[in-house]
Amino acid sequence: MNWIFGYGSIMWNPAISYSEVRKAKLSGWARRFWQLSPDHRGTPAFPGRVVTLVEKADCDCWGLAFRIEESQWDKTLEILDEREKNGYTRHFLEMNLAAGSEELCVTYIARDTNVSFSPLPSAKETALNITQATGPSGSNTDYFLRLRDTLESLQVYDEEIERLNKAFVEIDR
Ligand code: SIN
């Protein structure tokens, strides 16, 4: 079976044809706002920040798995390769479907070797960057809120989102 695992915008805006969607997790990976976005949620002059995955023992990254029919598979990868072209590469990983089996999936990860990989030392700096950026796909704050709402609707606790939520409150004061 062909699965795409999404943990960022692919969750709320897959824009691909799929026959089934399931909550799923990748074990040993953590979601981080460490990838600069000069093309979707920012500009080359003022990049925003989008999520990528970093390896972290004892951590699960929950997201959504989309099942793709064989006839749609090549087209799906073509669409996602284009959309995720700023630093993300395809990775073939084992995921766990919620209350289900282990399956192989393709997920897009921006590794630390790409030029847009840019961790910031604090959640406050990250939140400030997010509040100030906007790009062709919309504001960076909108990206954050959609991610937060999607995870909330899936009843997923995420440490990065919690840290950033607190930082947004702090910079709002
Ligand atoms: C994903 O959604 O799985 C990748 C990151 C993004 O496009 O936001």
pLDDT digits (tens, 9 = 90+) for 15-66: 999 999 999 999 999 999 999 999 999 999 999 999 999 999 999 999 999 9
64, 24 Cβ separation under 8 angstroms: yes
pLDDT digits (tens, 9 = 90+) for 133-144: 999 999 999 999
Residues 6 and 95: their CA atoms lie apart, in Å, by 11
Domain coordinates in residue numbering, the chain = 3-172
Contacts with 6 (C-beta within 8 Å, 6 or more apart), sequence order: 14, 63, 64, 65, 66, 107
The pLDDT tens digits of the residues spanning 123-134 come to 999 999 999 999
Q: What is the dihedral of CA 156, 157, 163, 167, to 10 degrees?
A: 60
Residue 173 has pLDDT above 90, yes or no: no
- Of all protein residues, the one whose alpha carbon is nearest to atom 1 of ligand 1 is 8
Q: What is the pTM of this model?
A: 0.96
At the second CATH level, the architecture of 3-172 is Roll (3.10)
Counting from 1 in the atom list of ligand 1, the atom nearest the Cα of 63 is 3
pLDDT higher than 90, residue 1: no
* Atom number of ligand 1 nearest to Cα 7: 3
Mutate to test the pocket of ligand 1, among 88, 151, 154 (most ligand atoms within 8 A of CB): 88
Name the nearest CA neighbour of 109 among 158, 56, 155.
56
